[in-house]
Amino acid sequence: MVVSPERIRSLHKYEKAILAALERQMKRYEWVPLESLEQATGLSESEVTYRLSRLIAWGMVRFNPVPYDGYALVFGGYDTLALTTLTKKGTISALGTKIGEGKESVVYEALGLGPVAIKFHRIGMRSFNTARVNREYLPENGHCPWLIASKLSAEREYLALTTLHPKVSVPLPVGQNRNAVVMALITGPSLSRCRLDEPDEMLDAILENVREAYRLGMIHADLSEYNILIEDGKCVIIDWPQWMETNHQNAGTILERDITNILAFFERKYKIVREPGDVLRCVTG
Ligand code: ADP
Ligand code: MN
């Protein structure tokens, strides 16, 4: 759950100071000792523990008593720091309802200059052992891998959007901080949930976007009917953090998998049959 804007607005300055201190100290500690937080903030022990108890109740901080009393930032706290910065910069003025939740993200509607979507990346411990082992940017060691990986994931997605927009149909990038990416809000269902009137044209348009991204050096690497949204009859490709460079050694395999996924979907749902080899040559040619 992401912390509500009301809660963020009502955060006491000591609570903000403690969150900021925790974030800095988590480069050194897995669990930040209480004394460290007292030193960093210049607050008394009773003040710090009182403020920490509130942050814990709001799901921003976690406490661990073994082997010493230590505190750690959790996703809720990291989201809050990102949201606070984005609000200060004027990128976001209000947070709306949740519009999506995946294994590794939570997406909210928000208000910026216009309606935007804000995606909080949440690369947790699970994904280090199992899926997405091809994500080379995941840190191998060092403290707080989830925090570093979630930030890197957001930065990577933002880089993809800024590189591709507007040549490739992706959401307009609006801003980025820590694990959060702000982009234009796309209103419309995913390809998986629509019933297209002209599926042949839509498939052409999708492949043309894949081709253009390839020309710009990027392969999506998680392309599916769930990561394509349809807005006013136009496709918009979302969910880019795992993109791969076209000169990567596995690029051929990954591109082929993206294309096979899309072709399989159109064959299943619309009985459109295309030769993957021909399509692949067309995209890379
Ligand atoms: P995940 O890696 O969790 O699948 P996505 O980027 O696919 O992350 O986002 C999850 C869901 O949030 C999407 O399936 C979609 O419903 C919604 N979503 C993401 N970005 C946007 C956007 N820019 N506009 C509207 N909805 C979005
Ligand atoms: Mn997705």
Taking CA atoms only, the protein residue closest to ligand 1 atom 3 is 102
Provide, for the chain, the percentages of residues in helix, strand and coil under a 3-state DSSP scheme, each rounded to the nearest 5.
Answer: 45, 20, 35
- Does the domain formed by 191-284 have CATH 1.20.1050.90? no
Q: Which atom of ligand 1 is nearest to the CA of 187?
A: 25
Return the beta strands (E) in 130-278 as ranges: 173-177, 180-184, 218-219, 228-231, 234-237, 244-245
Torsion of CA 119, 236, 264, 136, to 10 degrees: -40
Looking at 3.30.200.20, 2.60.40.10, 3.40.50.300, 3.30.300.30, the CATH number of the domain 79-184 comes to 3.30.200.20
Q: What is the pLDDT of residue 1?
A: 60
- 102 CA to centre of ligand 1 in angstroms: 8
Instruction: Provide DSSP, 6-24.
Output: HHHHT--HHHHHHHHHHHH
Phi/psi at 42 (5° precision): 70, 20
Q: What is the pLDDT of residue 4?
A: 76
d(CA 199, CA 197): 6
H/E stretch holding 62: strand 61-64
DSSP strand E in 82-212: where? 94-101, 105-111, 115-121, 173-177, 180-184
CA-nearest residue, atom 26 of ligand 1:
186
pLDDT at 145: 86
Distance 226 CA to ligand 2 centre (A): 6
Residue type, 32: V
Domains in the chain: boundaries: 5-76, 79-184, 191-284
Whole-model pTM?
0.93
Top CATH class, 5-76: mainly alpha
> Could you tell me the two tokens for 191?
């390809």
Q: Using the 8-state DSSP alphabet, how is residue 31 labeled?
A: S
* Cβ neighbours, 10 Å, residue 214: 19
Average pLDDT, 10 consecutive residues per value, the chain (285 residues)? 75 96 93 96 98 96 93 95 94 92 92 96 67 46 82 98 98 98 98 97 98 98 98 98 97 98 98 97 95
Q: Name the residue at shortest CA distance from atom 12 of ligand 1.
A: 100
Please give the number of the atom of ligand 1 that sits closest to the Cα of 103.
3
200 is a catalytic site residue:
no
Q: How many CB atoms lie within 10 A of CB 62?
A: 15
| Ligand 1 atom showing the smallest separation from residue 226 Cα | 14
Residue 272 to residues 209, 224, 269, 278: CA-CA distances in angstroms? 19, 16, 8, 14
**Residue of 79, 222, 239, 258 marked active site:** 222
